[in-house]
Amino acid sequence: MLDRYEASLRGLARKSRLRSLSGRAGLDFASNDYLGLAGSKRLAEAVATALANGTPVGATGSRLLRGNDPEHEVLEEKAASFFGAERALFFGGGYVANFAVLTTLPQKGDLVVLDELIHASAHEGARAGRAEVVEARHNDADAVDDAIRSWRAKGGTGRPWIVTESLYSMDGDRAPLDELMAVAGRHDAFLFIDEAHATGVYGHDGRGLAHHLEGRDNIVVLHTCGKALGASGALVTASAVLCDYLVNRCRPFIYATAPSPLMAVASATALDIIADEPDRRERLARLVTLAGTRADALGFKPSGSQILPIIIGDNGRAMALAEALQARGFDVRGIRPPTVPEGTARLRISLTLNVGEDDVSALFDALSEECSR
Ligand SMILES: Cc1ncc(COP(=O)(O)O)c(C=O)c1O
């Protein structure tokens, strides 16, 4: 009964692609807790106070039934105003929110154009949705334009949806948002921007790289709460009409227990911290500059962001390097296909305020030694 699963696991092991769960050990060069908020006193105190004042741990039902707590509404109002959108809707996580948006908003007859390196959750949502789906070359607005033109030429009559991350999770590079916006404008298209790795870190006061675009009718944005915000969940920001539509039509929103109201409190507090404590972004920026300089000196291209991929290529070699660094006390993880394209296995160095400049220097000293072995 279990043979085919065992065979599949053996196949993964042969390709150095077998994964297993491991604990948290060593200096944090692996999490997405970019601003160090997950363990911050202010976040912990806000949650403890809410709990002491009677906020329930669980929402106890769907938002459409008894699960709609004031904490959810407070967060959504704060998020809409913080990000500059008409409305916001809180989901249990970014994966489900991407899936929810892409299975609900693009309609039959529409076209979804995905960046080829878009997160797995967007792929899953687009594939499970009703619209036709095509992929366009990474960060290539002309390729998106071409995809829409050729779909129209073949008789496509619905509306195009352009789907991009603003800061790519495995490469740390930025999308050409203004060029994509221009393409969207030319084709009366929606632009759906996943800000998972930019929210809290980039844009005016950490409002994201798409902050200047939010509030327009054709813009839908995803802000995850489990990365720089240090909590969990995700906020979809969009027009009131699209949020109302999601409340009425989005099955992952309707048929699910609402996220914990305590996470709504944590996420709302994180937005306050992000606005009040700009020095966190400044400290992170200094780590990014230092790591970029050190990576460059070793012949690895700096990404210019807190996500710094050290591309190794071979799966086994990338995992061996990650293990060697872990053994020296640095929690650096290797990332292999299918998460990244074949032949681009890498170390994904993630910079967070959970480490300091000395730690970054020590990591690159160790990396230099391990690479020359
Ligand atoms: C770009 C991107 N979008 C969405 C998600 C999913 O978000 P969450 O972890 O909140 O489910 C991730 C998580 O890794 C991500 O990197």
pLDDT tens-digit profile of 106-156?
999 999 999 999 999 999 999 999 999 999 999 999 999 999 999 999 999
165 catalytic, yes or no? yes
Q: What is the DSSP letter of 167?
A: B
Q: Greater confidence, 230 or 22?
A: 230
pLDDT at 294 over 90: yes
Testing ligand 1's pocket by substitution, the residue of 34, 95, 98, 164 carrying the most ligand atoms inside 8 A of its CB is 95
- The answer to whether the Cα torsion of 55, 60, 66, 68 is positive or negative is positive
* Catalytic-labelled residue, pool 40, 169, 218, 232: 169
Per-residue pLDDT tens over the stretch 181-193: 999 999 999 999 9
Q: Which residues contact 133 (CB under 8 A, 6 or more apart)?
A: 111, 112, 114, 126, 127
Q: Which atom of ligand 1 is nearest to the CA of 234?
A: 10
Distance CA 223, CA 218 (A): 17
pLDDT in tens, 324-340: 999 999 999 999 999 99
What is the distance in A from the centroid of ligand 1 to the CA of 289? 25
Which tokens is 317 given? Answer: 């070699």
pLDDT in tens, 211-243: 999 999 999 999 999 999 999 999 999 999 999
In a mutational test of the pocket of ligand 1, which residue from 121, 339, 340 has the highest number of ligand atoms less than 8 Å from its CB? 121
Q: Give the residue-averaged pLDDT of 310-321.
A: 95
Q: Is the torsion defined by CA of 195, 197, 201, 202 positive or negative?
A: negative
CB 190 within 8 A of CB 159: yes
32 catalytically annotated? yes
Q: Which of the residues 123, 187, 211, 227 is marked catalytic?
A: 227
How high is the pLDDT of residue 75? 98
Is 197 a known active-site residue? yes
By DSSP bridging, strand 27-28 and strand 307-313 are unpaired
pLDDT in tens, 159-169: 999 999 999 99
- The reported pTM is 0.97
CA pair distance 43, 104, nearest whole angstrom: 33
Check residue 137 and give its pLDDT. 98
User: Residue 158 pLDDT > 90, yes or no?
Assistant: yes
Q: How far is the CA of 298 from the centre of ligand 1 (A)?
A: 30
Calculate how far, in angstroms, residue 371's C-alpha sits from the geometric centre of ligand 1.
Answer: 30
Q: Which long-range contacts (CB under 8 A, 24 or more apart) does 51-58 make?
A: 51/262, 55/261, 55/262, 55/265, 56/261, 57/260, 57/262, 58/257, 58/260
Stretch 276-305: mean pLDDT: 97
Active site residue 119: yes
- List the one residue out of 367, 123, 79 whose CA is nearest residue 214: 79
Q: Which of 72, 119, 123, 223 is catalytic?
A: 119
Total number of residues shown for the chain: 373
Residue environment code for 43-58, b if the CB has 16+ CB neighbours within 10 A, otherwise e: beebbeebeeeebeee
Residue 169 annotated in active site: yes
What digits encode the pLDDT tens for the residues 348-360?
999 999 999 999 9
Q: Is the pLDDT of residue 74 over 90?
A: yes
Asked if pLDDT for residue 315 goes beyond 90, the answer is: yes
> Is position 31 annotated as part of the catalytic site?
no
Residue 16 has pLDDT above 90, yes or no: no
State the distance from the centre of ligand 1 to the C-alpha of 20, rounded, in angstroms: 19
The DSSP string of 346-359 is EEEEE--TTS-HHH
What percent of the chain has a predicted confidence (pLDDT) above 90?
Answer: 98
Residue 300, pLDDT above cutoff 90: yes
pLDDT of residue 26: 97
Query: In the prediction, which pLDDT does 373 show?
Result: 83
Q: Is residue 172 pLDDT above 90, yes or no?
A: yes
Q: Which pLDDT belongs to residue 290?
A: 98
Q: How many angstroms separate the CA atoms of 332 and 343, rounded? A: 19
Q: Which two tokens stand for residue 348?
A: 């994904």
Contact of 195 with 219, CB cutoff 8 Å: no
Residues lining ligand 1, CB < 6 A? 93-95, 98, 119, 121, 165, 169, 194, 196, 224, 226, 234
Average pLDDT value for residue range 272-283 = 97
- pLDDT at residue 73, as a whole number: 98
- Find the catalytic residue in 165, 171, 331, 370: 165
CA distance 267 to 271: 6
Could you give the C-alpha distances from 188 to 81, 153, 158, 162, 217, in angstroms and in order? 26, 15, 10, 11, 11
* Helical segments of the chain, H only: 3-14, 41-52, 70-83, 94-104, 120-128, 141-153, 177-186, 240-249, 251-254, 261-276, 278-297, 315-327, 357-371
Residue 163: predicted pLDDT: 98
Average pLDDT along the chain: 97
Which residue's C-alpha comes closest to atom 10 of ligand 1?
94
How much is the pLDDT for 20?
Answer: 92
Distance CA 325, CA 233 (A): 31
110 C-alpha to center of ligand 1: Å?
25
- How far apart, in whole angstroms, are the C-alpha atoms of residue 112 and residue 34? 31
Residue type, 225: C
Q: Which residue has the tokens 């507090």?
A: 269
Q: How far apart are CA 14 and CA 2, in angstroms?
A: 19
- The answer on pLDDT for 22 being more than 90 is no
Nearest atom, ligand 1, residue 96 CA: 11
Q: Is 108 a catalytic residue?
A: no
CA of 196 to the centre of ligand 1 (A): 6
